[in-house]
Amino acid sequence: MNFADPETYRSGINRVLISEDEIKEAIKKAGKMISDSYDGRPLLLVSVLKGAFVFLADLCRAVDVPCEIDFMEAKSYYADTKSSGSVAITMDLKHDISKYHVIIVEDIIDTGRTLSEVIKLLKAREPLSLRVITLLDKPSRRVVELEADYSLFTIPDLFVIGYGLDYGEYYRNLPYIAEYSEGGGEDA
């Protein structure tokens, strides 16, 4: 698929699943929950790139207690859909997390494989506490037992784009969550 072509690009957006306003409203609530629970504690929001960058940017502005931000990047390598595989950290955090209450900010939990590896890795560094907040949850797709501490939206088994989530690196800039439409049927 050549998404650089505007027509192809637009035909990939099937329908809006979660509107900009719905996301805003849910983030306001999540920000308040975080502010209430972490007030007076050293708080570090950790985003797993790239998908969660938009969510983190909005979420941190809904938090009104002191907090710091850090980023990491993880790549998953799996042969087909087998559950065995490995996750490589391609960019690590800059903070020593043993001094912080850490919240992992995720875009979506799908099979749960990437996040479960990231959790294992961060737990070994003994943060003061570790929790997970995710914008979207696709529980029907889970192959690893894993639950977010806070999930803003539960969605069915659809491939979604927008608000940080991509298909072939496109659509991250959409301000809403949409269902991706295969259209021509060719793979990216």
For ligand IMP, the binding residues (CB under 6 A) are 51, 76, 107-115, 159-160, 165
Burial class of residue 169 (count of CB atoms within 10 Å of its CB; 0-12, 13-18, 19+): exposed
Closest distance to ligand IMP from the beta carbon of 146 (Å) = 8
Residue 110 binds: one of ligand IMP, Mg ion, none (C-beta under 5 to 8 A by kind): ligand IMP
Residue 151 binds: one of ligand IMP, Mg ion, none (C-beta under 5 to 8 A by kind): none
Q: How many CB atoms lie within 10 A of CB 9?
A: 14
Catalytic-labelled residue, pool 110, 149, 157, 187:
110
- Is 166 among the catalytic positions? no
Site string for Mg ion, 104-143 (x = CB under 5 A): ---x------------------------------------
Name the nearest CA neighbour of 74 among 58, 50, 96, 54.
50
51 binds Mg ion (CB under 5 A): yes
Name the nearest CA neighbour of 100 among 119, 126, 61, 72.
126
Quote the tokens at residue 92: 């690590």
Residue 59 binds: one of ligand IMP, Mg ion, none (C-beta under 5 to 8 A by kind): none
Closest distance to ligand IMP from the beta carbon of 159 (Å) = 4
Residue 154 binds: one of Mg ion, ligand IMP, none (C-beta under 5 to 8 A by kind): none
* Alpha carbon distance 107, 91 (integer Å): 17
Asked whether 27 and 60 are in contact (CB, 8 A), the reply is no
Active site residues: 110
